Amino acid sequence: MNKQDITRFFDERAALWDSIAELQPDKIETIFDAAGIREGDSVLDIACGTGILFPFYIERGVSRVDGVDIAPEMVSQCRAKFAEESRIHVVCGDAEELVFPCEYDRCMVFNAFPHFCSPELLLGNLYRAVKEGGTVTVAHDKGRKAIDAHHAGEASRISNGLMPSASLKDIFTACGYRTVSTVENDGIYIVIGIK
């Protein structure tokens, strides 16, 4: 798996992404509740794509959303959709290496974690991006088996697979997060680290 393939894969799908995304609002609300996303929070959305979670953040009354995506076409689509929303800022970059402009209350990696080449680099970098007491959440609105089956076809070349939550918890701990909680079942996957 390499980052150029990942970028190309998502760039090719950016124009149609919103029409093929299968959002489950009830699960997104469950994930947001677990992550502690609330009014006034600043949020960093990693691999934000076209901004599918942004309306949910706005509905919760967050103060700021910074989105990052490695695919320029995804970023272009996202910027066009939210051009009138002053709380939203989107950049194209590699979240494993990017230096973020501030510290955030919450960081979300939603439906994207298997596409990162180095989970350790990513979680270490996000540790630096959140405030003391802030959370970093890795979440999927499907269970691990469903995610891996979804990535078994054409996406197999750009996916490491979704590791068991216990393994991801160990990486969070190794990166310095003081508390890590997990929820993993057939319908949802959530791992949350607190700085």
**β-strand partners of 110:** 139
Nearest partner of 126 among 148, 154, 106, 150, judged by Cα: 106
**Which segments of 5-141 are extended strands (E)?**
42-46, 64-69, 88-92, 104-110, 130-140
Measured from the Cβ of residue 61, the count of other Cβ atoms closer than 10 Å reads 12
Q: Domains in the chain, start-ordered, CATH in brackets?
A: 3-15+24-177 (3.40.50.150)
At residue 149, the pLDDT reads 84
Report the percent of the chain where pLDDT is more than 90.
84
The answer to whether residues 90 and 65 touch, using CB atoms and an 8 Å cutoff, is no
Cα–Cα distance for residue pair 13/40, rounded to 1 Å? 33
Average pLDDT, rounded, for the chain? 94
**Which residue is associated with the tokens 């950049």?**
91
Of the pLDDT bands very low, low, confident and very high (cuts 50, 70, 90), residue 143 is: very high
Q: What share of the chain is helix, strand, coil (3-state, %, to 5)?
A: 40, 25, 35
Check residues 3 and 148 and name the one with the higher pLDDT. 3
State the pTM of this model.
Answer: 0.95
Mean pLDDT of 91-113: 96
Q: Which segment of 17-21, 87-91, 108-112 scores lowest on mean pLDDT?
A: 17-21
The per-residue pLDDT for range 22-31, each reduced to its tens digit, is 889 999 999 9
Does the pLDDT value for residue 154 go beyond 80?
no
Q: Residue 31, class by beta-carbon neighbours within 10 Å (0-12 exposed, 13-18 middle, 19+ buried)?
A: buried
The per-residue pLDDT for range 66-96, each reduced to its tens digit, is 999 999 999 999 999 999 999 999 999 999 9
- Give the end-to-end CA distance of the chain in Å, rounded to a whole number: 29
CA distances from 79 to 149, 153, 190 (A): 31, 30, 27
Mean pLDDT of 132-147: 94
**Residues 129-149, buried b or exposed e (16+ Cβ, 10 A)?**
bbeeebbbbbbbbbbbebbbe
